Structure 1
Amino acid sequence: MKFLLTVLLSLLPLWAQAVELEERLAPWTLLDQFDQAYTLDNQAQVLLVARSMDAAKLVDAALQGQPKGYLEARHVVFVADIQRMPRLIAKLFAVPAMQAYNYRVMLDRDARIAPRYPAPVDKVLWLQLEDGKLVARHEYATAAELRQALEQVQP
């Protein structure tokens, strides 16, 4: 019984951090792949969160062939959780490879932001925002589904 209580109490902070519908997202600041800071504000309409390399590859595949500034024009922000990646690999290979992308990737190097938005690690989490409040939540498992959803967002 004590063990169960201890487990439940240890999970309580995770539940408290999860964002609910109609809740305002707390602002945060992350660096992108060029070490340029971005702060989440009320202008963002969609927040994409990839909690794994596989999920980030879905975003990349969905954006293939799109012009530079495609996400920014639609007020879409992409956050990639790279905290599991060894820092040396990230610094020497992964982040330089991301600099070839024609879209910004906000890098959550220390898992400060992505855990606020729980989702399966193999899917891309889509958080629909209005004036900083969460109004809808979706998960995408394929690049085709994600691409179709992005095309519905008006620039």
Structure 2
Amino acid sequence: MKVVIVLLLSLLPVLVQATEVGERLAPWTLLDQYDQPYSLDTHTQILLVARTMDGAKLVKAALQDKPKGFLEVRHGVFVADIQRMPVLVSKLFAIPAMRDYNYRVLLDRDSRVVPRYPGAEEKVLWLQLDNGRLVAQREFASATDLRAALDKVAAP
């Protein structure tokens, strides 16, 4: 019985943090691969979230051959949870490699932002925002499907 109670209590923070349609997302600030800060604000319309390297690879494949600024001009940002990546690997290899990407990667080094948005580990979560409020969410398991969805978003 005690185990069940402990388990339920450990799940409580996850359930409390779950974001519902219509809810305003809490602001946060993360550094990108160039150590430049980005703060979630009311101008962001698309928030892509990857929990694992597999999810990040989906985004990379979807944005391959897209021009620099493709995501930004659509008011989109990409957040990658890199907390599980060994620090030495991230500093010496992964983050320097990300500097060659044609898009910005917001790095959740301490896993403090990504857990706010529940979703499948191996998929990319797409949160559609309007003035800071969540209006829709979907998940992508295919780079082709993610690319097609991004292509449908008109650039202003």
Query: TM-score band (shorter)?
Result: over 0.9
Write the distance in 2 (CA, Å) between the matches of 1:13 and 1:58.
28
Structural mapping, 1:132-151, within 5 Å: 132-151=132-151
2:34 pairs with 1:34: yes
Inter-partner Cα distance in structure 2 for 1:152 and 1:7: 42
* Partner residue in 1 for 2:3: 3
Aligned counterparts, 1:5-154, within 5 A: 5-154=5-154
Q: Taking every aligned residue pair, what percent have the same amino acid on both sides?
A: 65
Q: CA RMSD in A?
A: 0.7
Give the Cα separation in 2 of the matches to 1:62 and 1:42.
25
Structure 2 gap ranges (5+): none
- Residue type at the aligned position of 2:91: K
**What is the alpha-carbon distance in structure 1 between the residues aligned to residue 7 and residue 37 of structure 2?**
37
- Number of aligned positions between the proteins: 155
Q: Distance in 1 between matches of 2:89 and 2:2?
A: 42
Where does structure 1 lack aligned partners over 5 or more consecutive residues? none
Deviating beyond 2 angstroms after TM superposition, the runs of 4 or more aligned structure 1 residues are none
Q: Deviations over 1:13-71 (max 9, x none)?
A: 11001111100000000000000000000000000000000110000000011000000
Write the letter of the residue equivalent to 1:91: K
